[in-house]
Amino acid sequence: MMCQRGLTMRYMMLIYTRERAAEMSASERADIYDRHSKVIADASAKGIFLGAEPLGRTTTATTVRVENGQTLITDGPFAETKEALAGYYILECPNLDEALEWAARIPTGSKGAGGCIEVRPMPGLPKRPEAVPEHGPSALA
Amino acid sequence: MARAPSPDPRQAAESVFRRESGQILASLIRISGSFDRAEEALQEALASALASWPGRGVPENPGAWIMTVAHRKLLDGLRRERTAREKQDSLLYETATAVPPPDPDLDEAGMSYPDDRLRLMFTCCHPALNREAQVALTLRTLGGLSTPEIARAFLVPEATLAQRIVRAKRKIQEAGIPFEVPPADRLQERLASVQAVIYLIFNEGYAASAGSGLLREDLCAEAIRLGRVLCDLLPREAENLGLLALMLLHHSRRTARMAGGALVTLEEQDRSQWDHTAIAEGLALVENALGMGPAAGQAGAYQLQAAVAALHAQAATPGQTDWPQIAALYGRLLERQASPVVALNHAVAVAMSVGIEEGLARIDRLGAAGTLDSYYLFHAARADLLRRLGRNREAAPAYRQAAALATNGVEKNFLERRLREVEGAGGLPRSSTA
């Protein structure tokens, strides 16, 4: 009712889990696959699905950092015991409550793996800030 | 010098603000979809009232007058902004349905606006906001307290509190927290959050504190007012009645529980000083609430605690307290929320009904788990039972530990007073117990 005029927001749902896929049985992996498929199918049917992808494991991650014009490349970071970013969804929802409801349906790992979903609004690219001419304090007077 | 007309316009404006700003603000937020715009419009309308009422007299329905003017200021502002920035209306929730405001000079008494406070409560207490933000925002928007008043009551710097409110409002806007009453399947869970915020505000005010006594009283009064609003808006929720009853029954003892800045225990209070109007209202609410639940055994936590408070309120003397019934109620509460604190209360009620030794044995069993080691009331309760048994030599270290853990100055003083008593009395047994 509040958003009858097509006012929606894009939300990114970041999936954090422990990287334990190797320890999962085939039937557990199949279950997770099916649950993702269902969320994607339902969201697509509602016309709110904007994308979802898994990410490669943190062992395949590479970090790039530019410092003083030098590009530093390092291996990792690795998740070790903590939960790591494993994938994302982007859905278009009228408000946070609906986004949270979708988020609760996204599987975060097998039984023991726990995991959670971080929901963030995507405000879109901001306008390029107008360059403010620099004046001394006296200009304010 | 001009004589102030009666009623005094400034006073009238201020009293409308305290009483009705929550409802007006809620409505303005629904229309504009923005806390900031709504607050700005309300401030402008108040300024208009202060400018116009002294000359023209206070209107018959000042609340409706302010609402109408604020509504118009809001739409003027939105229109200005829209022309200035064209399609920048993405912040609006539903301008399409916004009704053009009527002239404030026409029939202001007949105006009525839908009550949007319930939406506002759910938005302010949304679980996506942290508890501190929920409390600050609820008090600021639904209560009649200013930011400096809230800051002083919670003993935080004003800038900290203001920042908390700004951040919460920003999150509501940017994350898209809806301004709605949640659907039936979410209602209970979300209502629990609203109730928790109101009860937290009450407890913050109720905790006996050495300083700012008046502001603390204000917090209790605000919490009770919010509890009333919640009951008015969702009267079929038994826990809403239970919460209001619980607060009223505790609040009825506010005068009796303090004497010369010192804490007076329930047992030692002058019961003639209790607020019997509040008690009567609380008792009626408890009865109503318990009567409307699906089954007596399923009463919620606020109702059960209110029922305990009601039994205390009904006892003309401490000796007439129905401790067996209180123990039974705590037993039921324990089934709902198996927390060590509830278990502690249960053990004390058992001590007072079955026997002090039995209660003490339960407390010692609870203590064995270690989870209550740093909870001052655990040591205070244990000390009290030992004192009642005349085991003063054991009571003293327990009081000492309780006093060391208590953070509230008034409670610390009380425990130290007791400590001196048991130290002075040595090992002499006391004759009477409860």
The per-residue pLDDT for range B28-67, each reduced to its tens digit, is 999 888 999 999 999 999 899 989 888 888 888 888 899 9
Nearest chain B residue to A120 by CA: give it.
B175
Find the CB nearest B178 among A97, A119, A120: A97
| Torsion angle of C-alpha atoms A8, A14, A15, A17, degrees rounded to 10 | -150
Whose structure tokens read 């409308």? B16
- pLDDT over threshold 60, residue B99: no
Whole-model pTM? 0.83
Mutate to test the interface with A, among B129, B180, B185, B187 (most CBs of A within 10 A): B180
CB pairs under 8 A between A and B: 44
Of B367, B410, B413, residue with least CA distance to B386: B367
Cα(B35)–Cα(B31) distance, integer angstroms: 10
pLDDT digits (tens, 9 = 90+) for B324-363: 999 999 999 999 988 888 999 999 999 999 999 999 999 9
Q: Who contacts A61 (Cβ-Cβ below 8 Å, separation ≥6)?
A: A75, A76, A77, A78
Q: Predicted confidence band at B259 (pLDDT cuts at 50, 70, 90)?
A: confident
Nearest chain B residue to A1 by CA: give it.
B94
More confident call, A7 vs B277 = B277
Cα(B45)–Cα(B50) distance, integer angstroms: 9
- For A75, B108, B109, the CA distances from B60, given in Å and listed in that order, are 74, 7, 6
For residues B115-125, average pLDDT: 93
- For A62, A63, A64, A66, A72, the CA distances from A69, given in Å and listed in that order, are 19, 16, 12, 6, 9
Q: Which of B100-114, B270-284, B325-339 has the lowest mean pLDDT?
A: B100-114
**What are A89's two structure tokens?**
């969804």
- For A12, A53, B298, the CA distances from A102, given in Å and listed in that order, are 11, 16, 32
Residues from chain A contacting residue B182 (CB–CB below 8 Å): 97
Angle between helices B340-353 and B376-388 (to 10 degrees): 10
Whose structure tokens read 């679980």? B127
Q: Which residues of A94-107 are buried (b: 16+ CB within 10 A; e: fewer)?
A: bbbbbbbebbeebb
B77 with B37: CB under 8 angstroms? yes
ipTM of the complex: 0.80
Mutate to test the interface with A, among B82, B94, B193 (most CBs of A within 10 A): B94
Q: Predicted confidence band at B199 (pLDDT cuts at 50, 70, 90)?
A: very high
Q: Who contacts B434 (Cβ-Cβ below 8 Å, separation ≥6)?
A: B267, B318, B319, B321, B323, B352, B388
Of B309, B317, B235, B239, residue with least CA distance to B278: B309
Q: How many CB atoms lie within 10 A of CB B220?
A: 20
Find the CB nearest B175 among A2, A4, A121: A121
Strand B262-263, strand A70-75: pairing: unpaired
Nearest chain B residue to A121 by CA: give it.
B175
Of A55, A52, A44, residue with least CA distance to A106: A52
For every residue of B8-75, DSSP letters joined together read -HHHHHHHHHHHHHHHHHHHHHHHHS-HHHHHHHHHHHHHHHHHHHHHH---SSHHHHHHHHHHHHHH
